[in-house]
Amino acid sequence: MARAKRTTKEKLLDAAEKLFARQGYHGTSLRQITREAGVDLALVNYHFGGKEKLFEAVLDRRGAMLNEERLRRLEEVCGAAAPRPAATEAVVGAFFDPILDFLEHAGPGWHSYFSLLAWVNNSPQWGKRLMGKTFNATVKRFIEALMASLPKAAPEDIYWGYNFLTGALTLSLAETGRLDVLSGGLCRSADVAALRARLGPFVAAGLRGLAQRGG
């Protein structure tokens, strides 16, 4: 099989993705990235125009694909051809499942990407701008679908619920290894099947609980 050889740009994106995910933006140097990628230091500025541009390029590369897949699944559960209003479980499934599927069946690049995404999402200095640029449009569609699936909930409850939902997902993707330590090895953070079996039920039940708050 003739495998297409990785270009310099791809080597740099792969190495940056991996190292930014583990060490953060300021904790990773361009020299470390180019050494990992096996290319010359100056090529970062030649191909991307600087460290920050490289960082954004890493986030952009897989962001569009994730949005596509999420919207495709959302369409399946509450689009024109779908049964009446989608269940909350179906909406949160359309939000989580693309990530879990990529984690289970795609390469290690997605692994690093999601870990990096968790890092960015929790960062006061990067979160607002970079997450918004890539994901705001998609997220608003999901929030609308959540509101439709829980018609009795106040909009404020759905926004806060989405915040909690994202937080639960984010920490699960961050690869801190803390779950492994706390459970004495009984649970493993990298066990995608275990995460898949629990994240959806937890979040759907939580949203329902929010919707019935005080009612």
What is the contact surface with DNA in residues (CB under 7 A)? 7-8, 28-32, 39-47, 50-52
Q: Considering only residues 74 through 133, tell me which ones interact with its own copies, judged by CB under 8 A.
A: 115, 118-119, 121-125, 127-128, 131-132
Is position 7 an interface residue for its own copies (rule: CB under 8 A)? no
The candidate with the shortest Cα–Cα distance to 91, out of 1, 8, 207, 194, is: 207
CB 176 within 8 A of CB 189: yes
Is position 140 an interface residue for its own copies (rule: CB under 8 A)? yes
Burial class for 137, CB neighbours closer than 10 Å (0-12, 13-18, 19+): exposed
**Residue 20 C-beta: closest distance to DNA, Å:** 10
Q: Which stretch binds its own copies (CB under 8 A): 6-14, 75-83, 92-100, 172-180?
A: 172-180
Residue type for position 126: W
190 binds, among DNA, its own copies, none (CB under 5 to 8 A by kind): none
CB 203 within 8 A of CB 92: yes
Is position 137 an interface residue for its own copies (rule: CB under 8 A)? no
Length in residues, the chain: 215
Q: Which of 102, 170, 190, 192 binds its own copies (CB under 8 A)?
A: 170
**Residue 43 C-beta: closest distance to its own copies, Å:** 23
Nearer to its own copies, 34 or 189 (CB): 189
115 binds, among its own copies, DNA, none (CB under 5 to 8 A by kind): its own copies
Q: Which stretch binds its own copies (CB under 8 A): 11-19, 64-72, 98-106, 167-175?
A: 167-175
Q: Which stretch binds its own copies (CB under 8 A): 24-32, 43-51, 63-71, 98-106?
A: 24-32
Which residues contribute to the site for its own copies (CB under 8 A)? 21-27, 115, 118-119, 121-125, 127-128, 131-132, 136, 139-140, 143, 155-157, 159-172, 174-179, 181-183, 186-187, 194-195, 197-199, 201-210, 213
